[in-house]
Amino acid sequence: MVPSRAAFQLDRFQHSLEAGTLALLIDGYDEFAVRVGYANAAAQLRTFTEALRGRAKLLLTTRPYALLPTIRSRVLHFRFPAAATLVTAAGWPAWLDDYGAWLGRLADNVSDKRAATGHVLSLYGLVARFGKILDDATGTALAAQKEKLSAELGEDEQVALETGLANGLRARLLAEIETATSAFALPRLSADNPERGRGTSRSLTAAVENLEHAAGLLRLNLNESAALEEFLLTSLRLWAKR
């Protein structure tokens, strides 16, 4: 920002950029790209980047998946945690409740065949419901976004927008699964039963590591149902063997 009574001096501005004492902040680049077209927005971004020399900084505070891959490949990605906002998609609170109940049944160590069959059937029910919840939530969010966008939105831009929304929602759902897993396990870290506490701690650590691994595979375009199935199968083995 330049004070209204101050004369803007381009040479001093460029010097500050090169020295790294001034950061050039671009906010809302993805929305800008949707409105003017990705080709025009990419050309504008090149204009900015060509002006940055020395220790100058460029910060994009946007959804990275709303950018074209050619743009994402030329920038560094830094993720900063935001204030937690719970997902309110239809069916999601019930899904989390059923997931916690499923973990509880696993931890009861019931070993008969009927119980084992029930655990597996419940697992695949959770997988199927997760996919539907994600699809429905993405569709709702996309419809709300389209009301704010230009009617001239092209097919490529629609795909990029939908992909960004789906990826963002999926990441939030997985984060809430991790929170639910911790909420299930922490009360079982009982000081009155050290051996049980150690087993719970090991299972929780392994479950969280597996979920984070699944999230990483999803960023490489693994199908979310396959990733969740693998996580739940691993969870079945972790919690049932305690």
- What is the Cα–Cα distance from 175 to 168, expressed in whole angstroms? 11
State pTM to two decimals: 0.62
pLDDT of residue 167: 81
- State pLDDT tens for residues 38-69: 667 777 777 766 666 666 556 555 455 555 66
Q: Which tokens go with 45?
A: 């971004």
pLDDT of residue 217: 82
